[in-house]
Amino acid sequence: MQAQIQTGYGTVIGEDCSVGDGTRIWHFCNLYGCRIGRNCKIGSYTEIGKDVSIGDNCKIEAHVFIPQGVTIGDDVFIGPHTCFTNDKFPRANQNDNWQIIKTFIQDGASIGANSTILSGVTVGEKAMVGAGSIVTKNVEAGTIVYGDGAKKRGTIH
C-alpha cells in the first residue's frame, strides 16, 4: 500500500525510498534510498541521500543537505541551510579506503539554521545547536551548544 504523502512540484523520490504516512515533502527535493518516518515535513530544495534514516514527526527546513551515513531520531528539528558531512578527508576522486563516517541526531534534538554538522558526531536527546554553529564533536543530551567548534553554553530544563 502506498503511503499517504504530499509532494511538491519538481520533487524526485527514488523508488528505493520509504516515506511514512502523513509526511509532506515540498518543491524540488531529491530523495534517494532513504527512510523517512510518519508526519514529517521536508522543506523545499532539500537533498536526502542513500541509507539516511529519519524518524517520525521531524521537521526538516528548506535547503538542507543530508548525505549517506546520517541517522535522525524522532521529533527532531533541522533548521534551514543545515549541512551534514560524511567524510573527514574529502577528495574529488575517492580511493578504495574511503568510508562513510556515521552521524546520529537523537530524539528531540534541534539544529539551528546554517549549522554544519561534521561526520562522526552524535547530538544527544533534546540537545539544541544554535544557528550558525559548526559541530565538530559530540553534544551531550539536554545541552545547548553554539559557535564555531560549538561549545556548551547551557542546559535544557
Cell 535544557 belongs to residue: 156
Cell numbers describing residue 58? 521531524
Question: pLDDT by residue for the chain (157 residues), tens digit each?
Answer: 345 677 877 888 888 999 999 999 999 999 999 999 999 999 999 999 999 999 999 999 999 999 999 999 999 999 999 999 998 888 888 777 788 999 999 999 999 999 999 999 999 999 999 999 999 999 999 999 999 999 999 998 7
Q: Which residues are catalytic?
A: 63
The whole-number pLDDT of residue 95 equals 73
- Residue 4 is predicted with a pLDDT of 62
Alpha helix stretches (DSSP H) within 53-142: none
CA distance 72 to 122: 10
CA angle 5, 71, 28 (to 5 degrees): 40
d(CA 64, CA 72): 13
